Homo-oligomer: A and B are copies of this chain.
Amino acid sequence: MPTDTFYNLNEQKQQRIFDAAIQEFSKRRFSEASINQIVKAAGISRGSFYQYFKDKGDLYLYILQEIGNEKRKVMKQVKALHPNADFFTFYLQYIKVAMEWISTNPAYHEIGMLMEFDDPQLMKELMHRSDDLTDIRELLELDQRRGLIKEELDTGLLLEMIYQLSLHLVKKFYQTGSTEEFVKKHHELILILKDGIVNKSERS
């Protein structure tokens, strides 16, 4: 919720401020980001900043919202392209598109990563992730009704597992930067989730 004053600014200036914020928030996590750096990069005075935003958190929420809007736009397209896919198909597609989007917006991605390393309570208030997962949850439940997934399993837990594992792989990718490895691991991961790790032929 920036002030009216901010929205009255010409687009160029708004963009300059947005870019400066992206730059800073992709370098340092929220709690360590410096307004000083942002105003310097944006070429505005410290005083002006406080005329546009209540404080650092206000700006942060603003850029998260903007990023979220862009992301949602991209993701809706995937959903439209695969209307009847089962969970596994959709998931791999989703991952693929997400990776492409990430590689065109590395800074956005860095911000997301840094959020993982900041005060969870602070970050929780930003609820950013629930949106992402809604589609996947629905698909899981649909597949369960379809009889593709064991009905006794708690989709909530499945969702948590998938999210966590995926997040872990994204983090690793972020550090090593190897896309092949990333995709390969995702496939292996899905295989394990699908069929388990126990060797049936030796069992009982």
Which A residues are closer than 8 A to B by beta carbons? 31-32, 116-120, 147-151, 153-154, 157-158, 160-161, 164-165, 168, 171, 175, 185, 188-189, 192-199, 202
Residues of B within 8 A of A185 (CB): 157
Interface pair A198/B195, CB less than 8 Å apart: yes
Chain copies in the assembled complex: 2
List of B residues within 8 angstroms of A150 by Cβ = 197-199
A198 to B157 CA separation, bound complex (whole angstroms): 15
State A175–B121 Cα separation when bound (angstroms): 9
With A120-B175, A165-B165 known as contacts, the answer to whether A197 contacts B149 (CB < 8 A) is yes
Q: Which residue of B lies closest to A153 (CB)?
A: B197
Question: Which partner residue on chain B sits nearest A113 by CB separation?
Answer: B120
Q: How far is the CA of A118 from the CA of B168 in the complex (A)?
A: 16
Nearest-CB residue, chain B, relative to A175: B120
Contacting A119 at CB < 8 Å: which of B117, B120, B189, B192? B117
Interface residue from B148, B153, B189 paired with A192 (Cβ < 8 Å): B153
Q: Write the nearest CB–CB distance from A178 to chain B, whole angstroms.
A: 14
Residues of B within 8 A of A189 (CB): 157, 161
A174 to chain B, nearest CB (A): 9
| Complex contacts, A198 vs chain B, CB 8 Å | 148-150, 194-195
Cα–Cα distance between A144 and B60 once the two chains are bound (Å): 48
Given A31-B32, A117-B118, A202-B147, decide whether A158 and B197 contact each other with a Cβ distance below 8 A: yes
Query: Closest residue to A87 on the B side, CB-wise?
Result: B197
